[in-house]
Amino acid sequence: MIAARTPTTATRLLLLAGAALIAALVAVLTLAPRGASAADSGRVRVMHASPDTPAVDIFVDGAKAVTALAFPNNTPYVTLPAGGHNVKVFVSPSNGTGSPALEANLEIGAGKDYTVLAVGEVGKGTLGLYVLEDDNSTPAGNNAHIRLIHASPDAPPVNVAVAGTSTNVFTGVAYRNFGPYTPVPAGTYSLDVNVNATGATVLTIPGLKLDAKTVYTAVAVGLAGNGTLKVVPLVDAPAPAAPRAPATGNTMTEGSASMLPAMIVVGAVLVASSAGLAFAASRAR
């Protein structure tokens, strides 16, 4: 019969070292940062709002960023480093050489969002870029935010009212101007676009659904003279996802939580290995 051995001082030290390793791993995971900050970049989206211009390719700092963007479509937001950027617009298809239809230098602010519209009429030599800074902060309470951009080159200044009422959401918005972000209770609306000078309704927007805590831009595009005037709604920022239930028992980040069981297993194996080595060493003596 083999008598049980009392753990030696070396064994105890190895066990304590293994436990300390587990504690150190947990501490590292708990303090891990959630990710790099985006404060050194901004976001830009582009909309083709010129009614007589064909599809275009867009180059940013010499590299093709958008291919065959057609009226009245738009890109999603893309991230660019803060600072100056050269933008060239060519009729598609293009390899970026020769004379662009449009060229501009854009200054991107850190942490800011922008909408860039190609507006005007190429046939009249009025094609240009219209740049706006966006405010995608989350609306309060049950409200949505909506902004109006007037990008129809032949339409007069307009008011936008709740259909069948004299309640204006926007008043006197002229071409290449905008009505600022306005809080509106979430719901479904029919809106009338009325000529500011006469009150005549030139367009009705039926069934526009505005969700709570969501940011929208409505862009008036096309030509009033040939009956192609319309409003294109864009979602600038959807409602934030509902917060998760608070974690209990630890303050680890989301990514590290899934790693913890594996790290504990590794630590336990190290402890067991340490104990085994100590036992083997004591047997060898």
pLDDT at 75 > cutoff 50: yes
Stretch 21-43: mean pLDDT, rounded?
A: 48
Alpha-carbon 261 to chain mean position: 33
**Two tokens at 197?**
């000078």
pLDDT at 30 > cutoff 90: no
| pLDDT attached to residue 164 | 86
pLDDT: which is higher, 271 or 238? 238
- Domain 35-134 belongs in CATH node 2.60.40: yes
**pLDDT tens-digit readout, 137-192:** 999 999 999 999 999 999 999 999 999 888 899 999 999 999 999 999 999 999 99
| pLDDT attached to residue 8 | 55
Distance from C-alpha of 51 to C-alpha of 49, rounded to nearest angstrom = 6
pLDDT at 81 > cutoff 50: yes
| pLDDT attached to residue 246 | 67
Contacts of 230 (CB under 8 A, 6+ apart): 72, 203, 220, 221, 222
- Please give the CATH superfamily to which domain 136-241 belongs: Carboxypeptidase-like, regulatory domain (2.60.40.1120)
Q: Look at residue 26 and give its three-state secondary structure.
A: helix
In angstroms, the first-to-last Cα distance of the chain is 19
pLDDT at 5 > cutoff 70: no
> Of 74-83, 118-127, 182-191, 249-258, which gets the smallest average pLDDT?
249-258
**pLDDT tens-digit readout, 239-282:** 999 777 666 554 434 444 444 344 334 444 433 444 443 434 44
| pLDDT attached to residue 184 | 96
**pLDDT tens-digit readout, 194-228:** 999 999 999 999 999 999 999 999 999 999 999 99
Number of H helices, E strands in the chain: 2, 16
For 63-137, where are the alpha helices, taking DSSP H only?
none
Mean pLDDT value across the chain: 81
